[in-house]
Amino acid sequence: MDAALGLLLGTGLLLVWLACWEAPPRTRERRSRAVDFEDRLVQAGIQGVNATAFGAAALGAGLAALVISWSVTRSLAVAGIVACGAAYGPYALVASRARSRRAALRTAWPEAVDALASGIRAGLALPEALAALGERGPEPLRPAFRGFAEDYRATGAFGACLDRLKAALADPVADRIVESVRLARDVGGTEVGSVLRALARFLRDDARVRGELEARQSWTVNAARLAVAAPWVLLALLATRPGGLEAFDTAAGVAVLVGGAAACAGAYRLMRTLGRLPVEERVLR
């Protein structure tokens, strides 16, 4: 009886101690990763899909690839490698599209900021200046600002429309612009134009330097992609020959496949990590 009371008391104290914290660190980390990946989905142009649904779709693609490749090759080891590649393929596609869209927006933001500052200097109201970007702004940004204009005409809630604009763009530059406009709308002042012009100059300088660096390292990235793809092209050619994949069903063959896949993925990941340029994070969500 005393042991049960002691256990109950200890459990109660543990629950009280856990209640003093917002969330366990691992839970916060997983949540942050999920939010970052959902931002990447938006940057890739995929709207309305959360990280869980996308992960389930990638898993389904992997299982379908496993069944199809096993029915063609009759090699479970090769089918497993193909399934892993198919499951990772959607993530690689999203990352590639997000990088391409960020590069396009990087060149479009200075023009958009200049147009916004000019509209404010000409006497337009802040909602009108933002809505004008949907018609006369850079082409990659027009759909988001056109949606903001329609949203504002329907609701008239400027703050809520700004929040939805930030979510639709999922871009740190958009966050800074939106918060500058929100601050100017809430507290007034005449400094928003100078702030936007300074931001446009900074964005142009950053785009120029980043473009030069990416151009210099592009040949290294392309060579690494070719080196990673070459062994798997050879494996695909072996699959066209009768009995060409039987050696990979042995323990040694599985070890070769797994070791080769790990070496390719690790080397490519290391190259990308060492050559990665810093990406600005969203701190003003």
Query: Digits of tens for pLDDT over the chain (285 positions)?
Result: 565 566 666 676 766 666 665 555 444 444 577 777 888 888 888 877 888 888 888 999 999 988 888 888 777 888 888 888 889 888 888 888 888 888 888 888 888 888 888 888 888 888 888 888 888 888 888 888 888 889 888 888 888 888 888 888 888 888 888 888 888 777 766 677 777 888 888 888 888 888 788 777 777 777 877 888 888 888 877 777 766 677 777 778 788 888 888 888 888 888 777 777 777 777 666
Its pTM stands at 0.71
CB 161 within 8 A of CB 148: yes
